Amino acid sequence: MIKKINFIVSGFFLLWLIIAAIPPNQNNGIKASIQRGEKVYNKVCLPCHMADGGGVPNMNPPLIQTSYVLGNKTTLISIVLHGMTDRVAIDGDYYSNNMAPHNDLTDQQIADVLTFIRNSFGNKASAVIPSEVKAIRQKN
Phi, psi (5° rounding) for residue 50?
A: 70, 160
User: Looking at 28, 35, 74, 85, which residue binds ligand HEC (CB under 6 A)?
Assistant: 85
Amino acid identity of 123?
A: N
How far is the C-alpha of 63 from the C-alpha of 61, rounded, in Å? 7
Closer residue to ligand HEC (CB): 13 or 94: 94
Q: Identity (one letter) of the amino acid at 99? A: M
48 is a contact residue toward ligand HEC (CB under 6 A): yes
Contacting range for ligand HEC; rule: CB under 6 A; set: 7-15, 17-25, 61-69, 120-128: 61-69
Q: Which residues contact 121 (CB under 8 A, 6 or more apart)?
A: 52, 53, 54, 62, 63, 64, 65
Please, which residues have CB within 8 angstroms of residue 96's CB and are 6 or more apart in sequence?
Answer: 58, 59
Q: Is 45 in the site for ligand HEC (CB under 6 A)?
A: yes
Applying CB under 6 A, the site for ligand HEC has a residue count of: 27
Q: How far is the CB of 77 from ligand HEC (least distance, A)?
A: 10
Kindly state the smallest distance separating residue 29's Cβ from ligand HEC, in Å: 20
Residues that bind ligand HEC (CB under 6 A): 44-45, 47-49, 60-63, 66, 68-69, 76, 79-80, 84-87, 90, 95, 97-99, 102, 113, 117
